[in-house]
């Protein structure tokens, strides 16, 4: 699926989700053809007889070596549940494609600035950023609480700008400017300069979608807490 098609379909309902679930199952089948022990060693991940473990967006995930199922451990529990398709696709790509010795640079760029593909630069970034900016317009404190709940610390410029854990030692930055008399609300996702050592360019957009889903969940939890106080 092209980057443009992915971004254009992100909010088109059940049919789009079903397509992504089908894609996840196909990628899962491909994962099972790989040497799982070699993948874990290559990316420096812990493993045991049955699973490979990875920290991703402030949660612990595991990938079953026998059937490829990706599961996540919800906060404050010892249980496991099936991971969302965005997260599964991202972890499959990191394990299968990620380069041995991959290491974060600690420098951050907008996603579209990582690629020389013109249509990816012009289309994908503006579409996602505009949508997320509108979603958090007038909700500065809520967004700040959500990013803090995901392990974020102040970093960079914006009405809210935080650096938060993404994959293992690699971080991501979310910067938000609320609307004013001259400009609409704007949200930017900045990724590590070396992220392409970990995943394909196309996969970054799945990862961004999964990241913002987690932010939305944390924002809703923050608002529920505020209403009960």
Q: What is the pTM of this model?
A: 0.86
pLDDT tens readout for residues 146-156: 999 999 999 99
Per-domain boundaries in the chain: 3-97, 108-228
**CA distance readout (Å), 111 to 3, 71, 172:** 12, 26, 11
Q: How far apart are CA 59 and CA 158, in angstroms?
A: 26
pLDDT tens readout for residues 43-64: 999 999 999 999 999 999 999 9
Give me the helix-helix angle, 85-97 and 201-228, nearest 10°. Answer: 140
Nearest to 173 by CA among 142, 195, 201, 152: 152
């Amino acid at each position: 699926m092209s980057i443009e098609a992915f971004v254009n379909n992100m909010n088109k309902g059940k049919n789009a989700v079903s397509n992504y679930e089908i894609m996840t199952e196909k990628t899962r089948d491909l994962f099972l053809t790989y040497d799982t022990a070699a993948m874990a060693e290559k990316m420096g991940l812990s493993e045991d007889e049955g699973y490979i473990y990875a920290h991703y967006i402030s949660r612990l995930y595991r990938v079953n070596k026998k059937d490829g199922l990706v599961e996540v451990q919800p906060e404050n529990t010892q249980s496991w549940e099936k991971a969302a398709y965005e997260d599964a696709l991202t972890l499959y790509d990191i394990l299968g494609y990620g380069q041995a010795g991959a290491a974060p640079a600690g420098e951050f760029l907008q996603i579209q600035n990582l690629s020389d593909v013109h249509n990816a630069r012009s289309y994908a970034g503006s579409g996602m950023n505009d949508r997320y900016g509108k979603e958090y317009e007038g909700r500065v404190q809520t967004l700040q609480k959500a990013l803090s709940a995901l392990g974020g610390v102040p970093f960079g410029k914006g009405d809210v700008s935080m650096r938060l854990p993404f994959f293992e030692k690699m971080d991501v930055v979310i910067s938000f400017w609320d609307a004013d008399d001259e400009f609409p609300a704007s949200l930017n996702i900045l990724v590590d300069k070396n992220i392409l050592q970990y995943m394909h360019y196309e996969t970054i957009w799945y990862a961004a979608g999964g990241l913002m889903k987690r932010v939305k969940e944390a924002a809703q939890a923050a608002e529920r807490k505020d209403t009960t106080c």
